[in-house]
């Protein structure tokens, strides 16, 4: 839905358009966030609540980082569970295709899905090219599963 802030996934709500790094360590902050070039050493003055070694010294900054990272962790968990559910459905599709001797890939369906996902990404203020790359990766894995099923193997659930 346009204008909807996103799903409530934990202690904080997902905010579209806010960039997060999944590699952030709880006691460090990303360089560009403090106003210096990425890869540059933080200022020894502790600007932004950061000591010379990158440890967060300001309790308010630490609390905000923790809150945001807890949301990121919850979103990551939701993404994994949603992908698992998606693959359960695609496994059923693969079995149905194999049963009826249909090809594992459906290029027309895939093209429609990519176009649909790009539109969704744009409305969510997510890079459509990134969304397309992600869906292409998922589709390739689904096709691989379907091929395994068609060859008489079960790609497992």
Whole-number pLDDT of residue 115:
97
pLDDT in tens, the chain (157 residues): 334 444 444 443 334 444 444 444 444 333 333 333 444 444 444 445 655 567 889 999 999 999 999 999 999 999 999 999 999 999 999 999 999 999 999 999 999 999 999 999 999 999 999 999 999 999 999 999 999 999 987 766 5
Task: For helices 128-150 and 59-99, give the axis angle rounded to 10 degrees.
Answer: 40
Say what the pTM is.
Answer: 0.62
Whole-number pLDDT of residue 52:
58
Whole-number pLDDT of residue 8:
40
Whole-number pLDDT of residue 56:
83
Whole-number pLDDT of residue 14:
38
Contact present, 30 and 54 (Cβ < 8 Å): no
DSSP track, the chain: -TT----B-SSSB--TT----TT--TT---GGGGTS-TTSPPPTT-GGGB-TTS-B--HHHHHHHHHHHHHHHHHHHHHHHHHHHHHHHHHHHHHHHHHTT--S--HHHHHHHHHHHHHHHHHTT--HHHHHHHHHHHHHHHHHHHHHHHTT-----
Question: Residue 146: phi, psi to the nearest 5?
Answer: -65, -40
How far is the C-alpha of 57 from the C-alpha of 52, rounded, in Å? Answer: 10
Whole-number pLDDT of residue 128:
98
DSSP track, 22-50: TT--TT---GGGGTS-TTSPPPTT-GGGB
């Amino acid at each position: 839905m346009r204008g909807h802030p996103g799903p409530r996934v934990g202690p904080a709500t997902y905010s579209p358009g806010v960039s997060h790094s999944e590699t952030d360590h709880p006691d460090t902050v990303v360089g560009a966030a403090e106003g210096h070039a990425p890869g540059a050493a933080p200022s020894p003055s502790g600007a932004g609540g950061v000591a010379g070694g990158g440890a967060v010294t300001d309790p308010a900054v630490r609390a905000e980082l923790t809150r945001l990272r807890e949301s990121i962790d919850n979103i990551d968990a939701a993404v994994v569970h949603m992908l698992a559910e998606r693959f359960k459905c695609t496994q059923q599709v693969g079995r149905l295709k194999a049963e009826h001797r249909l090809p594992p890939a459906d290029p027309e369906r895939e093209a429609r899905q990519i176009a649909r996902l790009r539109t969704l990404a744009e409305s969510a203020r997510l890079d459509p090219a990134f969304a397309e790359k992600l869906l292409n990766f998922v589709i390739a894995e689904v096709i691989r599963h379907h091929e395994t099923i068609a060859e008489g193997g079960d790609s497992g659930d």
